[in-house]
Amino acid sequence: MAFYLKTPNSTYSIVWYKSGGIRTSTGISIPTKYWDKEKHQVTRLHPNYKEINRRLKEFVPAPTSKKEEILPFYLLWATKGTATKTMPRRGDYYSYNVFKEFAPEGTTFDDIDYSFYNNFVLFLQDRGLSVNSIGTHIRNLKAVMNEAYKQGLHNNLAYKNFKKTSEEIDSVYLTEEELDAVRNLNLCGQSEKVRDLFLIGCNTAMRFSDYSRLTKDWIIDDEIHFISTKTSQRQVIPLAQEVKDILAKYNGKAPAVNQQAFNKIIKDVCRRAGLVTSIQVEKTLGRDKVVDMKEKWELVSSHTARRTAATLLIKKGAPIAWVMSLTGHKTESAFWKYVKLSREDYAKLLKSFVK
């Protein structure tokens, strides 16, 4: 059991009680300068320190009279957004429906403990979902619990220990030759727009959420200046001539294509460009490892552009730190997930260092 100040940087603060997953107000307000944060009590300098510390020692949190149910809040989160999540993502409503199949009617936030989490994962595995799909459902559940906690609907912190599962499947990148084949296709309509948008991504290493919004207004002195949609970090990257030409082609803006349509059309574009190499793909479905053979074009998506940009730069000998500054990665372990180099690629890179 511990006590702490709700607003320690203010002149006055309410003393709060914390024990396990319970957090609640004691109703006691004191000047913050009299609080001993190491002993979790009022210092002797306060004229009534004995009385206040006695009240803290004897404090018993009031029992919760009503436990809030999770399903109504999850539905709101998935369809209309909340105070800090104004735009639901594609798939949020599907995630809600999957959760609703598992969670009994009347399930409260307090019911979401580690046992609930383990059983939910088993339920998702029994549906034959991939590890990454299961991870998405767990991520969404944690987001719902966190948002509800911030709104004061519960004090259950067990969700913080839930693990978002993931596994690296055989993601691909395009070689220079394959990129040229895509670049040189004679296309029109949506296929041309998707190809051109893909080339912007391959030249910038930006995420789709960023390179699909690129405009000439972001360009200053042949550099692209922007705030990352995902990380909210300011980034600056060099402007390639090909990107400049594509923007000019579309009146100063990246061609407008939604991500779902993009991922469908770019596969067809890459198929027409001859990306038909067979690739073995291994992933977990439910509790089973599944091995499948795919042609390369089937594995290309909006994310392939970013991976292609990073990998080709490394193959050309660009310093890792420089490429990481381009992609915005903070750690090398996260960065290397985006780079796909073979043993032969590494050997070629090392040749210049071997006499």
Burial level of 254, CB count in 10 A (0-12/13-18/19+)?
A: buried
3-state secondary structure of 111: helix
What is the rounded average pLDDT for all residues in the chain? Answer: 86
125 shares a domain with 99:
yes
Q: Which of 110, 126, 161 is the last residue of a domain?
A: 161
Total count of domains within the chain: 3
Residue 20 has pLDDT above 80, yes or no: no
Range of the domain at 45: 2-57
Give a yes or no: residue 170 inside a domain: no
Give a yes or no: residue 169 inside a domain: no
Confidence of residue 127 (pLDDT cuts 50, 70, 90): confident
Cα 195 to Cα 186: distance, rounded to the nearest angstrom: 10
What tens digit of pLDDT does each residue of 293-334 get? Answer: 889 999 999 989 999 998 899 888 888 888 888 888 878 777
Give a yes or no: residue 239 inside a domain: yes
Q: Which of 161, 187, 207 is the last residue of a domain?
A: 161
264 shares a domain with 190:
yes
92 shares a domain with 39:
no
Confidence of residue 283 (pLDDT cuts 50, 70, 90): confident
3-state secondary structure of 280: strand
Give a yes or no: residue 131 inside a domain: yes
220 shares a domain with 113:
no
194 shares a domain with 260:
yes
312 shares a domain with 191:
yes
Our CA angle for 336, 341, 345, nearest 5°, is: 135
Q: Looking at this protein, which amino acid is placed at residue 184? A: N
292 shares a domain with 196:
yes
Provide the whole-model pTM. 0.63
For residues 227-231, average pLDDT:
85
Least confident of 91-95, 176-180, 183-187, 209-213: 91-95
213 shares a domain with 296:
yes
Residue 352 has pLDDT above 70, yes or no: no
294 shares a domain with 145:
no
Give a yes or no: residue 166 inside a domain: no
